[in-house]
Amino acid sequence: MNHIVRQIGQPLAAALLGASATLAFAPFSYWLLMPVSLWGLFLLLQSTSPKKASLLGFCWGLGQFATGVSWVYVSIDHFGGMPAIAGLSLMALLVMYLSLYPALFAGVLARCSVRHAAIKWLILAPSLWLVTDGLRGWVFTGFPWLWPGYSQIDSPLAGVAPVLGVQGITWLLVLMAGLATLITPKWGAWQGRKQLAGLAAIAGLSACAYGLNTIQWVEAHPEKQQTVSLIQGNIPQALKWRPDQRWPTLMKYLDLTRQHWDSDVVIWPEAAIPALERDLPRFFEQLDTVAKNNHTTVITGVLDQNAAGQYFNNVIAVGADTPSYQYPAPKQYSKHHLLPFGEFVPFESLLRPLAPLFNLPMSSFSPGEAIQPALPANGLAYITALCYEIAFPAQIRANLTPDSNAIITLSNDAWFGRSIGPLQHLEIARMRAREFGLPVIRATNNGVTAIMDARGNIQQSLPQFETGVLTTTVTSTVGFTPYRQWGNTPLWIWVAISGLIGWRYRGQPCYRTPRKISTRA
């Protein structure tokens, strides 16, 4: 009976621990639950076979992703055109796919046979987690949502972000969870004085991370200030592409902008224009003329289709600091990192016939170049990240130059209704500001529209699901954070070193294989 309880109870405990990790992210932000969740998982993984460890890691992932990315189902249910059972099945497949990565981490860690428990939990475990999270952020173009480090944007560990980025925080969380595992009474390998040393190490790491918060890696540049107005149109997604709503939508944005022509820059959200750019050349010519007359730059999202029939998700700049408008816009950015199923369909020939979800309007976009020039913004240079792209720090870093003054991210989270998704999205944008020491300007259709300073603090924001305009002063910075200079290079060097250490101290498996039961009388 005890064996049966253990067989059921451990996977259930792992799933509950994974679900608790979701509470560490926005909008809940109980950041302490992340290291606790990892610690609990590691305790379950002690002295288990690779097969059992993989199961426990998979269950932990089920708990986290079933709760943490539940917002995806809102889009499937409202706009997918599928029966509920089909939508739930698709969601289940997504959750199970994402759960393969913690399963891979746990299985490989259990198979790593080393002579010292400290090497397993303090060297191999943090590096393996980085590798599996890195794979999750790369395979099928990547889904780097809910990396553990994001949960610490308001914790003392946030000071690590300008040095090692969000993945550096993840590495530190796993390291601290490994220390906690080693010193857990009756469970851990360290007892007596080693327990005190482990506690001191956790306290020391926390203190160092907190101390990093006191370092001013960049300084405000008072000569690089602008008044910026962000237009939150709050256009319902169900109405957005209806032909009879095209001009009412355009007039709404123009009316909201008309009151803010004294701003240096006016920004409309992703795909704010409910038409292709090529269909409205006269509209953009007039917008460009009015903006130039008012010495204002207008930046907006707009879709387009080129002569070859390829669709692009673009951001264009017109008005001050730009050439006179002629189609196509001389100054534009084309989204590079496309959202699977939303903007392109993997295995297209197989999936498109299956359901309307895979045939949403303009769901076959082409990617722009990986490296693109900054958008001119009335004397400053804005690096652009369209919606989902803000979750890819390496892409943003690759586009930064010494002349970059701010990061703008345009989005339309109306697809996800009143779910937790848009608030997690904002949390990710805050981390980019912290990593690169630059203000981040986030313009969205229905929230959360916000402006963040170089430390990731929200200066001002607009309430969700309300029409409004956010106008404030944005100040650029002078200097570079270590992460902006090095990126993830130090972490990957450490991953390589940790692999060599693991190989050097390899030994017998630390788990016990079950003995075969004799059938002899």
Asked whether the predicted pLDDT for residue 3 surpasses 90, the reply is: no
Give the pLDDT confidence score for residue 86 in this predicted structure.
79
The better pLDDT of the pair 495, 82 is held by 495
Give the pLDDT confidence score for residue 141 in this predicted structure.
87
**Averaged pLDDT, 86-111:** 94
**Averaged pLDDT, 320-343:** 90
Token readout for 410 is: 């345009």
pLDDT tens digits, one per residue of 126-168: 999 999 999 999 998 899 999 999 999 999 999 999 999 999 9
Query: Do residues 462 and 441 make contact, with C-beta atoms less than 8 angstroms apart?
Result: no
Give the pLDDT confidence score for residue 54 in this predicted structure.
98
Residue 457, Cβ neighbours under 10 Å: how many? 13
Give the pLDDT confidence score for residue 87 in this predicted structure.
80
Instruction: Give the rounded percent of residues in the chain with a pLDDT score beyond 90.
Output: 79
Instruction: Just list the catalytic residues.
Output: 270, 335, 387
Give the pLDDT confidence score for residue 518 in this predicted structure.
39
- DSSP state, residue 480: -
Question: Cis peptide leading into 328, omega within 30 of 0?
Answer: yes
- Using CA atoms, how far apart are residues 223 and 68, in angstroms rounded to an integer? 42
Per-residue pLDDT band for 508 (boundaries 50, 70, 90) equals: low
Give the pLDDT confidence score for residue 298 in this predicted structure.
98
pLDDT tens digits, one per residue of 384-420: 999 999 999 999 999 999 999 999 999 998 888 899 9
Query: Do residues 27 and 67 make contact, with C-beta atoms less than 8 angstroms apart?
Result: no
Instruction: Give the rounded percent of residues in the chain with a pLDDT score beyond 70.
Output: 91
Token readout for 456 is: 């990731």
- Using CA atoms, how far apart are residues 263 and 476, in angstroms rounded to an integer? 16
The backbone region for 74, taken as left when phi is positive above 0, alpha when psi lies in -120 to 50, beta otherwise, is alpha
Token readout for 354 is: 């299956």
Per-residue pLDDT band for 493 (boundaries 50, 70, 90) equals: very high
Asked whether the predicted pLDDT for residue 513 surpasses 50, the reply is: no
Asked whether the predicted pLDDT for residue 108 surpasses 90, the reply is: yes
Query: Is the CA virtual torsion 258, 263, 265, 270 positive or negative?
Result: negative
Query: Do residues 225 and 377 make contact, with C-beta atoms less than 8 angstroms apart?
Result: no
Would you call 158 exposed, middle or buried from its count of C-beta atoms within 10 A (0-12, 13-18, 19+)? buried
The better pLDDT of the pair 342, 383 is held by 383
pLDDT tens digits, one per residue of 280-298: 999 999 999 999 999 999 9
C-alpha R_g of the chain: 25
Would you call 286 exposed, middle or buried from its count of C-beta atoms within 10 A (0-12, 13-18, 19+)? middle
How far apart, in Å, do the first and last CA atoms of the chain sit? 25
Helix axes 161-183, 33-45, angle to 10 degrees: 50
Asked whether the predicted pLDDT for residue 354 surpasses 70, the reply is: no
67-71, 447-451, 506-510 — which is least confidently predicted? 506-510
**Averaged pLDDT, 85-97:** 90
Which phi and psi (to 5°) does residue 354 adopt? -80, -40
Give the pLDDT confidence score for residue 406 in this predicted structure.
97
Q: Average per-residue pLDDT in the chain?
A: 91
Query: Do residues 393 and 409 make contact, with C-beta atoms less than 8 angstroms apart?
Result: no
- Using CA atoms, how far apart are residues 31 and 52, in angstroms rounded to an integer? 28
Asked whether the predicted pLDDT for residue 428 surpasses 90, the reply is: yes
Strands (DSSP E) contained in 90-167 are none
Give the pLDDT confidence score for residue 519 in this predicted structure.
37
Token readout for 481 is: 């954070």
3-7, 44-48, 261-265, 458-462 — which is least confidently predicted? 3-7
Contacts of 398 (CB under 8 A, 6+ apart): 370, 371
Closest CA to 176 of 147, 212, 213, 201: 201
**Averaged pLDDT, 2-22:** 85
Torsion of CA 198, 202, 205, 210, to 10 degrees: -160
- Using CA atoms, how far apart are residues 362 and 19, in angstroms rounded to an integer? 35
Asked whether the predicted pLDDT for residue 78 surpasses 80, the reply is: no
**Averaged pLDDT, 112-117:** 88
